[in-house]
Structure 1
Amino acid sequence: MAQPHRHLGVDIGLTGLIKWIQYPPVDGEAAGLEVVASSADRFEGRFAHQLLRDCLVLLDSPLSSRDIEVLWLAGTFRAFDLERLGIDGRVWLRRIAEVCTDRIHRDDPSRTPAAAATVVDVAVREAVVAEIGSVGPALAQATAHHAYHPLDGVVPALYRAAEVDPDLGFRLLLRALKGYFVPISEARYERYLALGDELGLGEDVVDDRDFNIWSDLED
């Protein structure tokens, strides 16, 4: 089943929310859920479909609550810190899903949203996993040893996400790199654009001007 409302001209689904919840900073679960509701309402409610889909994929997966928390914290650079707020990762996703479901029901009360079946292209999954492995040492260094916002376990959590859903795993990888402003080469950037194209993502999803690209960096 094709994912609905994929080309919105912005980052989509959970990774879009991760980007938006940082600016302006919000503190507290109630304020965070207000951002979720505002995001779900974007594009006349179309964004809610993709956000719900991403949440259901992770909730139906074997990823632990800690995995989900780590992926969220990496992408947000701890701007909305689930760990500090004491919010369980899976509980947070369920609350996001409830908001999205309510928004979808405003347009179609009879609809029962469900996760679209994930069709995994083995070659694409291997390409995403390879990119995680390639940039993994730099990402682990940037996250685990950050002076102010250290975070362990990002790379293993990304591997697990990519195994479940390469599309979401790839978008979460990009958000982690952007969140911690990890330097990447122009060659890597071009590979990300090509891989995004294979995944059916618009260029605006891959490159939202948040990358830290170094022209003299070599892979």
Structure 2
Amino acid sequence: MAQPHRHLGVDIGLSGLIKWIRYPAVDSETAGLDVVGSVADRYDGAFAHQLLRDCLALLDSPLSGRDVEILWLAGTFREFDLERLGIDGRVWLRRIADVCTDRIRSDDPFFVPAASSAADDKAKEAVAAEVGSVGPALEEATARHAYSPLDGVVPALLLAVDVDPDLAFRLLLRALKGYFVPIGEARYERYLALGDELGLGEDVVDDGDFNVWPDLAD
């Protein structure tokens, strides 16, 4: 079944929230939840559906709170730092999910979140291959960053692939953009093609934040 509210002309769901919560930067849980509420309300509340779906997929998964924190920190470049604020990753997802549920129920009081459908094995393989391919460059950029180091990004992404390859792909892109990891044109074109296969709009894959080097062979 096609997912509703996927084509909004912007990045969607959790990856979209991660992008927007950085600008302007917020430095408290209260301020962060204010951003969540604002984002969930976008497009007459349509954004809340995809954001809730992403959160529930991870909450229903075996990923630990730390795994979720790593995925969040990689995409936000630690500019909304759950670790510094002492917020467990799964607790943060639950709070986001509650905000989204409240927003949806303001329009539909009888709304009940639907269970996620099983992930397609072909999609899992394709996204896992891209994570593995860019993994060394991503680990180098994150773990060895001069002032925003972060370990374990690639293993956390691979765990997410088994849960929801669509979400994992979007989180991979957000991590690459957050840490401004250089990619070549061939990889960029593969990302556009894979996004299309996953049913994502081109504006989700390329929102202007990539660091593309035309002479980089990858």
TM-score (norm 2): 0.99
Partner of 1:208: 207
Is the CA contact 1:3–1:116 (under 8 Å) kept in the aligned structure 2? no
Instruction: Give the match for residue 12 of structure 1.
Output: 12
C-alpha offsets along residues 165-199 of structure 1, whole Å, 9 cap, x if unaligned?
11001000000000000000000000000000000
Q: CA deviation at 1:122?
A: 1.4
Give the equivalent residue in structure 2 for 1:62: 62
Could you say what secondary structure the match of 1:43 adopts? coil
Alignment correspondent of 2:217: 218
- Residues 14 and 54, structure 1, Cα contact 8 Å, conserved in 2: yes
Following the alignment from structure 2 to structure 1, what is the Cα–Cα distance between the partners of residues 82 and 35? 15
Aligned equivalents of 2:60, 2:176: Cα separation in 1: 25
Distance, in Å, in 1 between the alignment partners of 2:83 and 2:90 is 12
- How far apart are the structure 2 equivalents of 1:218 and 1:116? 37
* Partner-residue secondary structure (3-state), 2:183: strand
Give the letter aligned to residue 75 of structure 1.
Answer: G
The letter of the residue matching 1:45 is: G
Mark the runs of 5 or more structure 1 residues left unpaired by the alignment: none
User: How far has the Cα of 1:116 moved from its partner?
Assistant: 2.8
Q: Offset at 1:8?
A: 0.3
Contact 1:139 1:182 in 2 (8 A): yes
Local SS of the residue matching 2:116: coil
Query: Which stretches in structure 2 are left out of the alignment for 5+ residues?
Result: none
Deviations 1:60-102 (A, max 9, x none): 0000100000000000000100000000000000000000000
Aligned counterpart, 1:91: 91
Matched, 1:134 2:127: no
Instruction: Give the drift of 1:121.
Output: 1.9
Q: In the alignment, what sits opposite 2:75? A: 75
Number of aligned residues: 218
User: Residue type of the partner of 1:6?
Assistant: R
Q: Which amino acid in the other structure matches residue 35 of structure 1?
A: V
Q: What is the CA–CA distance in structure 1 between the aligned matches of 2:140 and 2:61, rounded to whole Å?
A: 27
Whether 1:175 aligns to 2:174 is yes
Instruction: Provide the alpha-carbon RMSD of the alignment.
Output: 0.7
**Which letter maps to 2:39?**
S
Deviation at 1:114, TM superposition (A): 3.1
Indicate if the aligned counterparts of 1:55 and 1:97 stay in contact, CA closer than 8 A. Answer: yes
TM-score by length of 1: 0.98
Alpha-carbon displacement from aligned partner over 1:21-80 (angstroms, at most 9, x marks no partner): 000001100000000000000000000000000000000000010000000000000010
Query: Conserved in 2, the CA contact under 8 Å of 1:74 and 1:151?
Result: yes
**Alpha-carbon distance in 2 for matches of 1:45, 1:136:** 35
